[in-house]
Amino acid sequence: MARVYNFSAGPSMLPESILNRAAAEMLDYEGSGQSVMEMSHRSKVYEGIIFAARDLFRKILNVPEDYEILFFQGGASLQFAGIPMNLLNGSGKADYALTGQFATKAYNEAKKYGEIKVVASSKDKNFTYIPKIAQAQVTPNADYLYICMNNTIYGTIWRDLPQTGNVPLVADISSCFLSEPMDVSQFGLIYGGAQKNIGPAGLTVVIVRKDLMGKALPYTPTVMDYKVMADNDSMYNTPPCYAIYMCKLMLEWIEGIGGLEAIKARNLKKSSILYDFLDSSQMFGNPVVKEDRSMMNVTFVAPTEELNEKFIKEATAAGFVNLKGHRSVGGMRASIYNAMPIEGVEKLVDFMATFERRN
């Protein structure tokens, strides 16, 4: 069996130990005589899985008691609508920072539901940096201010969070979920799809301050109403049962490694190996402003389109797959989420150095 190093932006790699565990439990989960895929979400055995996943989130991310942890289907993109429907209930105004394609999609969706202002943008330089937002720029009575924390396509991350005063800060953390410790109390709401850092596609996790729930706009679909989902333990309807089970295994894996401090050390090591190489390379370069560089998505380019294509082709043949950059950016991108082993990045850099020497 030959497994590749998968640098996909998502869905992405999962640890082999988890895949083996899932395989071993496939036909008979803990003596239940069934697979997790087959069992009722109302059964005691399934409740053991979903509640354990929720409790592990709280423990690992240190989620304060005044926040709910909710599980949804529909991807991060459904929350582009879910967030305004649930939160635009005061002034009906919100501020958005445009730092890439996903932030822009969220902004375009929110415009359907209220008065939305672009408070900052980095579009002028193709989203290669994180803009500054002074507190004076924030709409004083806005229902929330929205950022996309880690910009998957461009390889940038917010390091200094905007100071928003009483305006709740909302962040899409899809591509940096549980990649390092995070102070949840600085946010009104954080959310993300699981398929980058914490499991397979199909599960979206929303962590929301309790006082922000319960005032959804009247037309909000019931399954997207945060209060309804909270009152029903995320099981108002059938949850993405198997994805939650896989996510639970991933949370146990993170805990086993030593939690978020240990994960951060690993992730920092991986990204440093790549950025250090790019900074010393005569061929490859990274276009992002240094202090805004993402630890999760590392973009890079060779001097010509021919070299980019040749690199991607040869890398794929050598077992380093999905290194092609997003079509809106070009070049290459290595997504090195939680499950990517350090060895995968070391081998990639060796391969890049050899490619550089030969070309």
Ligand X SMILES: *Cc1c(COP(=O)(O)O)cnc(C)c1O
Residue nearest to ligand X (CB): 75
Indicate the residue among 43 and 108 with the shorter CB distance to ligand X: 108
- For residue 81, the minimal CB distance to ligand X (Å) is 11
Query: Is 321 exposed, middle or buried (CB count within 10 Å of its CB: 0-12, 13-18, 19+)?
Result: middle
Strand ranges inside the chain, DSSP E:
5-6, 67-72, 93-98, 115-121, 144-148, 150-151, 156-157, 169-172, 189-193, 204-209, 297-300, 320-321, 332-335
Indicate the residue among 193 and 344 with the shorter CB distance to ligand X: 193
Which residues of the chain form contacts with ligand X (CB under 6 A)? 10, 75-77, 102, 148, 152, 172, 174-175, 193, 196
Contact 301, 308 (CB under 8 A): yes
- For residue 297, the minimal CB distance to ligand X (Å) is 8
- For residue 204, the minimal CB distance to ligand X (Å) is 6
Contact 51, 43 (CB under 8 A): no
Contact 169, 191 (CB under 8 A): no
- For residue 194, the minimal CB distance to ligand X (Å) is 8
Closest CA to 139 of 120, 160, 117: 117
Indicate the residue among 120 and 352 with the shorter CB distance to ligand X: 120
Indicate the residue among 22 and 106 with the shorter CB distance to ligand X: 106
- For residue 202, the minimal CB distance to ligand X (Å) is 9
Residues 6+ apart with CB under 8 A from 32: 39, 45
Indicate the residue among 197 and 308 with the shorter CB distance to ligand X: 197
How many CB atoms lie under 10 A from the CB of residue 118?
A: 13
Indicate the residue among 73 and 137 with the shorter CB distance to ligand X: 73
- For residue 218, the minimal CB distance to ligand X (Å) is 25
